[in-house]
A and B are shown apart, each in its own frame.
Chain A
Amino acid sequence: MGVGIQVTDLNAWYGANHALLGINMNIPANHVTALIGPSGCGKSTFVRCLNRMHETNATARVSGEVRIGDVDIYAEASPVEIRRRVGMVFQRPNPFPTMSIYDNVASGLRLNGFRNKGVLDEVVERSLQSSALWDEVKDDLHKKSGASLSGGQQQRLCIARALAVDPEVLLMDEPASALDPVSTAKIEDLIFQLKSQYTIVIVTHNMQQAARVAETTGFFLMGKLVEFDSTHKIFTNPTDKRTEDYITGRFG
């Protein structure tokens, strides 16, 4: 079951570059929240702060509070335990090239010491089915390596890998930017099905996609959260002029 996320006064830096400025956001549980905004506005940085990936960058710094469920992730938890609860799909597919497809999907569970073969088989199949990849790879689960798939297949493999650990929150940073329209539609269906069980935060450049899958949408501009509201409101009647300009394609 998903949990909500409360972000309070979040700031993030890369060296001297102040990439996020005082973000406040209340992400509802078991909903899809889309983040939109022009390139370089800090969307990726923001989602990376939600599973403490931001701090893996050598120059990065962060301040503020992020609560996932009732845990303040920066004060009360280790990055490792947070990342076990919060799955992530990256902008560029990053499967493990030295592992078979099966091992890629099972990697999260194996990593955490899970060994039950029967359950692993089940989880791998279910995850690959959820990410709409099962039919394409079921015959060479153990034969092919993660890197031998096409770009779009690799991304769906990465989604399966993230789903296999049954996360409470799923962060997706432009998961469909490398996919063809058919795969994109599959992914969107998948997000639709998953949202009753997971809290999903998705970054996207595709406004139709945001409108299709998300109940809530946040608009970022130059490191600030300009507007955060129901998707319907953002796309039909935004409060802020800058949001309207962006939505209607007048800049960005």
Chain B
Amino acid sequence: MVLVKIKLQEAGVAGQSGSPSRGRTRSGVDSQPEPSLVRKFLLSRGSSAFADRTFRGLMLLCAFSIFGIVALIATELVLRSQMSINKFGMAFFFRQIWDPVSGDFGALPFIYGTLASSFLALLIAVPLAIGLAIFLTEMCPRFLRSPLAFITELLAAIPSVVYGLWAIFVLVPILREHVNPVLAKTLGWTGLFSGPNFGIGMLAAGVILAIMILPIISSLTREVMTSVPHTQREAVLALGATRWEMIRMGVLRNARIGIVGSIILGLGRALGETMAVTMVIGNRPEIAKSLFAPGYSMAAVIASEFTEASDDLYLSALMEIGLALFIVTIVVNALARLLVWAVTRGTPARIN
């Protein structure tokens, strides 16, 4: 049936999609001498409405499969964590306890650990990444540009377990011996850098995450900065701008939406990163003010305790941690989108 319809349409026989314009063309053809070869060929192609509709349907299917996958994951997570949800209710997300022996569970230390390590990573990585992107697009000598860009992108391809190993054997000792003592001495009074210094802990996790998300943020930022038209840079320069003023007003300002987007992508990676964090965060489910103290993250607890979860409640609680991670990721992303929207809506914001 469908096939017949296609044939009819291709032959240029007006079906229900036959447009008035086609009718006119046909009658024009009747009253005129022979149409040209090209015209005949084009007329024989019909309205192509079927092709367009099929294409749209296929793309719609692709788009909706995303919803399907997300819904599937969400329901699965909820179903599997039923036991823990029933036992602890909403309080699960706000409890600070994690005691598998007596079967008492709460997710707060993990939520805190994930958020704290991720934001710490952004704090370190974003200025570095933007600085790197500025250097690469605006001031780097030509011969250095592609090697540097290549190396940054290479960083993104290293498996995270390798980062973890490197962190344990190189980063953690450096933090313990050289960085942490200085931080404790100069900024110890804030309470963020005090207490016993093991090297591993929240700070180590934040630093390794920062190194891991740096290449994503910087290469995407570089991409959007390169796409800012040269005329914008010239416009600012012609007003008597210094190099930095030109970059701020002519480049960063125009690229800001893309830059925020790249930061969101980096944040997404930091939130879900498992292996490297598990290896250096210290794996202790506590919330401490000091960044030297060990912590735990949602992804890390799932990865390291899933195999030893002996009873159903324990397993169910881990599943609910997964659900929490899912929700946190969605909320953080939504907030980030909101931020983009707020920055770009209506009248453009003033400079400075």
Partners in one complex: yes
A positions within 8 Å CB-CB of B: 51, 53, 56, 58, 79-85, 87-88, 90, 92, 94-100, 103, 107-108, 110-112, 142-143, 145, 158, 161-162, 165
**Cβ < 8 Å to A, chain B residues 220-267:** 229, 231-242, 245, 249-250, 253-254, 256
The yes or no answer to B178 lying at the interface (CB within 8 A) is no
Cross-interface CB contact of B239 among A56, A111, A142, A143, cutoff 8 Å: A111
Determine whether the beta carbon of B351 is less than 8 Å from that of A81: no
**A97–B238 CB distance below 8 A:** no
A94–B232 contact, CB under 8 A?
Answer: yes
Q: Does more than half of chain A's interface fall in helix, strand or loop, or is it mixed?
A: mixed
Contact for A111 among B232, B241, B254, CB less than 8 A: B241
- Of the candidates B235, B254, B347, the one having the most CB atoms from chain A within 10 angstroms of its own CB is B235
Identify which of A84, A85, A103, A111 contacts B236 (C-beta below 8 A).
Answer: A111
Which residues of chain B (308-352) have a CB below 8 Å from chain A?
347-348, 350-352
Alpha-carbon distance A53/B239, docked complex (angstroms): 11
Chain B residues contacting A94 (CB-CB under 8 Å) are: 229, 231-232, 234-235
Q: Measured between C-beta atoms, what is the minimum distance from A149 to chain B in Å? A: 14
Cα distance A58–B233 in the bound complex, in angstroms: 13
Chain B residues near A81 (CB, 8 Å)?
240
On chain A, the residues within 8 Å of B235 by CB distance are 90, 94-96, 158, 161
A165 touches B239 (CB 8 A): yes
Verify if B24 is at the interface (C-beta below 8 Å from A): no
Interface, chain B (partner A; CB < 8 A): 142, 229, 231-242, 245, 249-250, 253-254, 256, 347-348, 350-352
A137 to chain B: closest CB distance in Å? Answer: 13
Chain A residues within an 8 Å CB radius of B231? 90, 92, 94
In the bound complex, CA of A165 to CA of B238 (Å): 11
User: Within 8 Å CB of A158, what residues of B?
Assistant: 235
Chain A residues closer than 8 Å to B347, beta-carbon distance: 100, 142-143, 145
Residues of B near A162 (CB, < 8 A) are 238-239
Taking the closest CB of chain A, its distance from the CB of B253, in whole angstroms, is 5
Task: Choose among B232, B240, B245, B256 the residue that contacts A96 (Cβ–Cβ < 8 A).
Answer: B232
Complexed CA–CA distance, A56 and B190 (Å): 46
CB of A139, distance to nearest CB on chain B (Å): 13
Name the CB-closest residue of B to A112: B240
Interface CB pairs A-B, < 8 A, 18: A53-B238, A56-B237, A83-B238, A84-B239, A84-B240, A87-B238, A88-B238, A94-B232, A96-B232, A96-B254, A98-B348, A107-B239, A110-B352, A111-B236, A111-B240, A111-B245, A111-B249, A162-B239
Known contacts A94-B234, A96-B253, A108-B239; 6 additional CB pairs below 8 A are: A56-B237, A79-B237, A83-B237, A96-B236, A100-B348, A161-B239
- Assess whether A56 is in contact with B240, with CB atoms less than 8 Å apart: no
Which chain A residue lies CB-closest to B232? A94
Q: Which residues of A contact B253 (CB under 8 A)?
A: 96, 98-99
Cα separation A80 to B236 with both chains bound (whole Å): 11
* A165–B237 CA distance with the chains assembled, in angstroms: 13
Instruction: Choose from A56, A87, A145 the contact partner of B233 (Cβ within 8 Å).
Output: A56
Contact B350 A80 (CB under 8 A): no
Give the residue name and chain of the B residue nearest to A91 (CB): B231
- A98 smallest CB distance to B (angstroms): 5
Q: How far is the CA of A97 from the CA of B241 in the complex (A)?
A: 18
Are A107 and B348 closer than 8 Å at their CB atoms? no
* B145 CB, nearest partner CB in chain A, Å: 11
